[in-house]
Structure 1
């Protein structure tokens, strides 16, 4: 992990200089005060600078990739694990799985992929409440294809609810998929949506108005 020892007139100034040199923020580093410094006699004679050691915390995005590589290796699958730089930032990392046997890691309606994503988030954010990185696990664009499928499903079932003037209850879905259904229909003034039940059996209900 990258670290630096920095001096300044005060501890805060030394820390600020170190953060600038490391091009990072306070929540991404560990700080050790080596010397609090002193002003000296009359603030002029015998003064001493403050000194801090600042070390970057472990790169969580790298940890997420390594975690997934270990999981895939233990599953004995011929699948490549890569970080998608164009979709990753300080708040999230997107990891894409490519190769054969993708059906195994995706699972029925993405349930295995969701489970892997959940485990990856636990692995990288454990013991660190200051900085949480969202880990998204995708498989050759499966997430976007699933989103489009759910949007089409929402529109089709909304038409059914309006045609029969009664509510339509969808099958249980995880929270992120329920949000896609709600979002797809929020501009349709002829239907309302809400969720019923307790996770993992919570369902979206579409009601004609």
Structure 2
């Protein structure tokens, strides 16, 4: 099943609402850092229509410790992000699509995946054949979907977690049933920045 159309689960949030999400998320993360006895500064922003919170090293030595909160392939980061979203939802009553970054992991991974997706696009244009990328989480798949859409090609996610992956293809190869969104959510949508950068249960076009 492909997930290029956005499911009407979310109503547009105002910047004020998103800033509130960020503040609530930041409060939760500050308590979390205190509990695990780790240092770090917290930055709050609004990016691509969602609250964005980042934990960054505040002094020498913090980076290595914060790396443990990222985990292998960002698995721990994803778990903490989900806990933060649940904390926000408990306060606001609304589902949160807040994005969390730690130590610039997502920014660095986005740059890496942009290159990977661009190479796949070039290969598809050169050969006319679909190209399957390695398995990725919802956030990573969304990055690739956006790159592909910006290049004028088509992409869809196939398989089940943890083997779900992006397939890049020419528009002529686009399946007819592209109007359904994976129950996992809206983070991955076919159109560039179509609603978020995501995410899996919330992160969407996965």
- Verify: 1:204 aligned to 2:166, yes or no: yes
State the structure with more CA Rg.
1
Maintained 8 Å contact 1:97/1:137: no
Partner of 2:177: none
1:116-156: CA deviation from partner (whole Å, max 9, x where unpaired): 11110011212643x55543322233322221111101011
| In structure 1, C-alpha distance between the alignment counterparts of 2:154 and 2:23, rounded to whole Å | 42
Gaps of 5+ in 1: 1-24, 29-58
**Structure holding more strand per residue:** 1
Q: Measure the CA separation in 2 of the matches of 1:80 and 1:205.
A: 38
* Counterpart residue number, 2:108: 145
Higher relative contact order (CA 8 A, sep 6+): 2
RMSD: 3.2
Quote the offset at 1:207 in angstroms.
Answer: 2.5
Match of 1:171 among 113, 124, 134: 134
Q: CA deviation at 1:107?
A: 1.8
Give 1:200 deviation, angstroms. 4.1
CA contact (8 A) 2:81 2:99 kept: yes
TM-score by length of 2: 0.58
- 1:90-117 Cα shifts (integer Å, max 9, x gaps): 9625232323323211222322212111
1:14-163 matched pairs, under 5 angstroms: 60-77=21-38, 79-84=39-44, 87-88=45-46, 92-98=51-57, 99-100=62-63, 101-126=65-90, 128-129=92-93, 131-163=94-126
Q: In structure 2, what is the Cα distance between the partners aligned to 1:178 and 1:91?
A: 17
Q: 1:200 to 1:122 in 2, by over 3 A?
A: farther
Residues 72 and 193 (structure 1), Cα distance of their counterparts in 2 relative to 1, 3 Å cut: same
Once the two structures are TM-superposed, the CA of residue 161 in structure 1 deviates from its matched residue by 3.5
Shift of 1:204: 0.4
CA distance in 2, matches of 1:184, 1:61: 27
Tell me the distance in 1 between the aligned counterparts of 2:151 and 2:42: 39
Distance in 2 separating the partners of 1:60 and 1:143: 19
Q: Distance in 2 between matches of 1:196 and 1:83?
A: 34
